[in-house]
């Protein structure tokens, strides 16, 4: 499956989520390709650090606005079980290209109203692409969540108003994410007993379900979270 981490807001956790999911997928024995589509190069730098440390890492490559074209990412993806694309924080050709090639678009998003508002432009691009790619699945992932506050709970409701399902797994704001990334790992390997590791595996399972259509495209994920 090809999963794009996208959305135009900066600093919401796209790269962190992409890297952590890529490591978790490898932990599950899958062949993983991590595509860095952001000129900032977060995923590539992480890959370099990981390689220097001698960690068993996914293949990391850079790609841009041509990734959806014939012979590009789709051709390369055949040698892998899972491909994670880390997009830059803006609406543009790269995001569109990623949505044109992905099976699943994930929108990492903070648990605040401001984050929810920022989704609007990305959702427009998604709608455009979906006009001719009906099967493109999409969901919001709540990231950097600060505890079980009333604010965080109401943010889920606001995010659901975007019309996209909100995956049941939420990634908390935890230093384990930052520490793991800094040493070229993900929390599932760096701190397997930390709640961050559990969250990442749970998120991976949610994404697989979404990709395989066991969660109805627009609604079931949110209902599951509410129950
Ligand atoms: N779940 C989390 N818990 C704690 N810190 C996090 C979490 N996710 C991301 N961060 C931190 O937030 C900052 C931004 O994260 P990240 O680089 O993943 O976001 P991004 O959406 O890729 O940013 P950009 O838009 O610049 O590409 C980083 O310092 C990262 O360590
Ligand atoms: Mg990033």
pLDDT (tens digit, 9 = 90+) per residue, 111-167? Answer: 888 888 888 888 999 999 999 899 999 999 999 998 777 777 777 888 888 889 999
Residues, CB-to-ion distance under 5 Å, ligand 2: 14-15, 42
Per-residue pLDDT, 226: 44
Q: Are 98 and 67 in contact (CB under 8 A)?
A: yes
Per-residue pLDDT, 224: 43
Three-class SS of residue 225? Answer: helix
- What CA–CA distances, in Å, run from 99 to 85, 103, 149, 177, 191? 10, 8, 33, 26, 32
CA distance 139 to 214: 14
pLDDT of 77-104, one tens digit each? 999 999 999 999 989 999 999 999 999 9
Other C-beta atoms lying within 10 Å of the C-beta of residue 17: 25
Total structural domains within the chain: 1
DSSP labels, 102-113: -SEEEEEEESSH
Which residue in the block uniquely carries the two structure tokens 């984050």?
115
Pocket, ligand 1, Cβ cutoff 6 A: 10-16, 38, 40, 42, 89, 143-144, 171, 173-174, 177-178
Per-residue pLDDT, 126: 94
Residue nearest atom 8 in ligand 1 by C-alpha distance: 13
Measured in Å, residue 41 CA sits from the centre of ligand 2 at 8
- Domain containing 120 equals 2-226
CA distance 69 to 144: 34
CA distance 159 to 119: 9
Measured in Å, residue 227 CA sits from the centre of ligand 2 at 32
pLDDT of 50-70, one tens digit each? 999 999 999 999 999 999 999
Torsion of CA 1, 108, 105, 17, to 10 degrees: -20
Per-residue pLDDT, 221: 46
CATH number for 159: 3.40.50.300
Which atom of ligand 1 is the closest one to the Cα of 17?
A: 18
H or E element: which one contains 97?
Answer: helix 93-101
Q: How confident is the model at residue 213 (pLDDT cuts 50, 70, 90)?
A: confident
Q: Is the full-model pTM beyond 0.85?
A: yes
């Amino acid at each position: 499956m090809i999963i794009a981490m996208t959305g135009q807001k900066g600093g919401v956790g796209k790269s962190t989520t992409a890297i952590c999911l890529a490591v978790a997928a490898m932990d599950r024995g899958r062949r993983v390709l991590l595509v860095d589509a952001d000129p900032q190069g977060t995923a590539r730098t992480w890959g370099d650090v990981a390689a220097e440390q001698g960690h068993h890492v996914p293949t990391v490559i850079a790609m841009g606005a041509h990734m959806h074209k014939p012979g590009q990412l789709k051709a390369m993806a055949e040698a892998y079980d899972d491909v994670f694309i880390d997009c830059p924080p803006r609406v543009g050709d790269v995001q569109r290209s990623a949505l044109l090639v992905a099976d699943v678009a994930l929108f990492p998003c903070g648990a605040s109203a401001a984050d929810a508002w920022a989704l609007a432009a990305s959702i427009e691009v998604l709608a455009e692409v979906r006009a001719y790619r009906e099967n493109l699945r999409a969901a919001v992932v709540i990231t950097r969540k600060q505890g079980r506050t009333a604010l965080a709970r109401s943010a889920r409701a606001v995010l659901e108003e975007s019309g996209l399902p909100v995956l049941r797994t939420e990634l908390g704001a935890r230093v384990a994410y930052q520490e793991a990334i800094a040493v070229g790992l993900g929390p599932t390997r760096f701190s397997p007993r930390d709640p961050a590791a559990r969250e990442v595996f749970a998120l991976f399972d949610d994404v697989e379900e979404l990709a395989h259509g066991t969660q109805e495209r627009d609604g079931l994920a949110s209902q599951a979270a509410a129950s």
